Chains A and B, each alone.
Chain A
Amino acid sequence: MLSVKGLKANVGDKEILKGLDLEIGRGEVHAIMGPNGSGKSTLAHVLSGREGYTVTGGSVTFEGQDLLDLEPEARAHLGLFLAFQYPVELPGVNNTYFLKAALNAIRKARGEPELDAVSFLRLMKEKLKVLHLDDSLLKRPVNFGFSGGEKKRNEIFQMAILEPKLAILDETDSGLDIDALRIVADGVNALRSPERSVILVTHYQRLLDYIQPDYVHVLAKGQIIRSGGKELALELEDKGYGWLGAEEAA
């Protein structure tokens, strides 16, 4: 589904990703762990097409398509979704309206009929229920005045509505209490299907108690330095990153 080969990317003239390889198969859940500043968010941003990064080498294909040539919205249309580490506030933009516009933009790009207001509302109610979220969320402006936890939950809610083929969750678990963590985990688990893949970027093993990853990778100094199964996460929790020689100087 996603194939990253030798990816190198700069911010300004600083090289952050230094030849990164990653293969994600259909239906798989991959956890990417690594110390602060190792390039996890950079990877997520480069994959979703954020400006300000220069790709200097390597390739990324998503379902056979060259992803790096595409605008961010085109990547979303293909089924890529990024849950932001720091969700952005959109004052005055109604959450429901925003999501409906996004979903219909994606459906339109795929040649599917747009959802009318009634069907969309039904979909929202259904997803709220699955995630045990309060419907006051729908009436508020996107992330505006939300607490940290609410913002993260809203990201998961958006993911649930947009039903991406590949969701990248950038530290969605950090700063969450146990209840909120469960909601996030429920959201991801509900989305899990043989058709969908997930990249969980996380700092802690904690999230992996709720979401069983198929693979765990350690990202350090701009490269995947170690890959393994779930047991790798436990090992990391025990020993820290130091034993891999992955502790960042920065």
Chain B
Amino acid sequence: MSASPAVEAIVESEYEHGFITEIESDTFLPGLDEGVVRAISARKGEPEFLLEYRLKAFRHWQTLATPRWAHVHYPEIDYQAISYFSAPKSKDGPKSLDEIDPALRETYNKLGIPIEEQMALSGIAVDAVFDSVSVATTFRTKLAEAGVIFCAISEAVHDYPDLIKQHLGSVVPHTDNFYAALNAAVFSDGTFVYVPKGVRCPMELSTYFRINARNTGQFERTLIVAEAGSHVSYLEGCTAPMRDENQLHAAVVELIAMDDAEIKYSTVQNWYPGDAQGRGGIYNFVTKRGDCRGARSKISWTQVETGSAITWKYPSCLLRGDDSVGEFYSVAVTKGRQQADTGTKMIHLGRNTRSTIVSKGISAGEGQQTYRGLVRIAAKAQGARNHTQCDSLLIGDRCGAHTFPYIEVKNPSAQMEHEATTSKISDDQLFYCRSRGLTTEDSVSMIVNGFCKQVFNQLPMEFAVEAQKLLSISLEGAVG
């Protein structure tokens, strides 16, 4: 099944998940200063070290200017017009699904994510992030038996302060970039995963994000630590309700893999891209980085990006451990007025480190897409290898694809391969499919899914099906 695109019945091309759940929120007034940072920390009852961390980040952020190098265009963001905290009202976390706000569960149902069914059928533990505070955590017991910690990062701060203190900011320091600094100062909530030595996580871990409260920037923080010889696969999927104002999303994701550990991080991103004129879409400025700290460790990023008005995202791997492996498999779609500047960085520091980059960009309408990839082989990285494949598919003639590969090789033993192609869906291909009885839309969807197959093959099966559906839906009306 996973190899076959599930071409669904053609539905409205308008954003399918664009509805707003009515739920009472406890939201800060817009604006950002030290007082707000302190208030966030106080509201969450955080330990002193975390408040200090936030304040340090905030002070650093104030010295920074918005980065301008990306190939994207948008009006200046007024950071004082954003509210930095929003929590659903029910104060105490629920103990079971029955305790979950019915409106919230209705939202999940609309999204086609019935939690109960997922629990029963697929054995996936779901840590649902609704706005800024986690409200549903399932299968915790089963994970606990295996010794795996999977919880909201705000809880982890209380329950496992030493782990947080040790690892938070160790991969993406608060000084890393403008958005990472902002996130470190005001991060709302997110997910913490800890897999102890030698443990293979018994199930795929999955978090569904959903931006919901009006005008509230989202600053998730994710931290995954895989101790020596452990293995974990994490799925992240996002949808958002339709709205007018642009919404800033600046998440930080940090992955740490020790000796022989493996982390697989998969994302299907479907945030509101804005209306036909590009109004109201999500700004997605994300810093994702994995640290292959141990020898023979492996970190694999797979992403399918169809949403957001603007995407600025470069999931990266620091290949520190000898023989460590970094992978990046990406499908990004831009249509309408969407803009994406995305890619990866593979930093080879250890000996015999290997990296693979497969980037598939699809542009339709007036979509603009940039692939920006850095492969750096440090002087000490004897025997490093990289393979990069970067393919663009254009649908129509008003869209654009741009490729900026940066390659820095300081060790002569490095083996580098780079392939890049740009193609169009040809009239021949469309006619061929249609002459076999398929509609234009099904034909496009089939050709596009074929183009993306290498990446979809990397996704866990349920996710691959969802990704293919998403792609089909998002490309409706793209041709003809």
Contacts and interface: CB of A to CB of B under 8 A. Distances in A.
Contact of B433 (A49, A71, A75, A90): A90
Contacts of B427: 51-52
User: Which one of B7, B433, B454 has the highest number of Cβ atoms from chain A below 10 Å of its Cβ?
Assistant: B433
Given A71-B434, A84-B432, A162-B437, A101 B452 contact: no
B189 interface: no
A52 B427 CA distance: 10
A158 interface: yes
Contact of B449 (A92, A109, A158): A92
B428 interface: yes
B453 A73 contact: no
A72 interface: yes
A76 B435 contact: yes
Contacts of A109: 437
Contact of A102 (B438, B451, B452): B438
A41 interface: no
Contacts of A52: 427
Given A93-B447, A101-B446, A72 B431 contact: yes
B439 interface: yes
Contacts of B451: 91-92
Interface residues of B, number: 27
Given A76-B437, A94-B3, A106-B437, A87 B450 contact: no
A49 B452 contact: no
Contacts, number: 83
B131 interface: no
A128 interface: no
Nearest to A89: B429
Contacts of B454: 92
B428 A73 contact: no
Interface in A69-91: 71-73, 75-77, 81-82, 84, 87-91
Interface in A32-63: 48-52
A92 B452 contact: yes
Interface string A194-221: 0000000000000000000000000000
Interface residues of A, number: 34
B434 A98 contact: no
Interface string B438-472: 11101000110111111000000000000000000
A93 B450 contact: yes
B394 to A, nearest CB: 15
Contacts of A141: 450
Given A51-B431, A90-B429, A73 B438 contact: yes
Contacts of B442: 101, 105
B429 A105 contact: no
Contacts of B7: 101
A1 B4 CA distance: 36
Contacts of B440: 73
B436 interface: yes
Given A91-B451, A98-B446, A141-B450, A76 B432 contact: no
A72 B446 contact: no
A48 B437 contact: no
A6 B452 CA distance: 46
Interface string B405-438: 0000000000000000000001111011111111
Contact of B431 (A50, A98, A99, A106): A50
Contacts of B452: 92
B75 to A, nearest CB: 38
A87 B442 CA distance: 19
A79 to B, nearest CB: 10
Nearest to A117: B1
Contacts of A93: 446-447, 449-450
B3 A102 contact: no
Given A71-B434, A109-B437, A94 B4 contact: yes
Contacts of A88: 426, 428-429, 431-432
Given A93-B446, A93-B450, A101-B446, A87 B432 contact: yes
User: Which one of A50, A75, A82, A89 has the highest number of Cβ atoms from chain B below 10 Å of its Cβ?
Assistant: A50
A72 B432 CA distance: 9
A76 to B, nearest CB: 4
Contacts of B428: 88
Given A90-B429, A90-B432, A97 B4 contact: yes
B436 A158 contact: yes
A143 to B, nearest CB: 9
Contact of B437 (A73, A87, A94, A97): A73
A97 B426 CA distance: 20
Given A73-B437, A92-B452, A102-B438, A97 B3 contact: yes
Contacts of A89: 429
B304 to A, nearest CB: 15
B437 A77 contact: yes
Contacts of A82: 435
A49 B435 CA distance: 8
4 A-B pairs with least C-beta separation? A92-B450, A93-B450, A76-B437, A102-B436
11 contacts: A52-B427, A73-B435, A77-B437, A81-B435, A84-B432, A87-B432, A92-B449, A92-B453, A93-B449, A102-B438, A162-B437
Given A49-B434, A87-B432, 14 more contacts: A72-B435, A73-B434, A76-B436, A88-B431, A88-B432, A90-B447, A92-B452, A93-B447, A93-B450, A101-B7, A102-B437, A102-B438, A105-B437, A162-B437
Interface of A: 48-52, 71-73, 75-77, 81-82, 84, 87-94, 97-99, 101-103, 105-106, 109, 141, 158, 162
Interface of B: 3-5, 7, 426-429, 431-440, 442, 446-447, 449-454
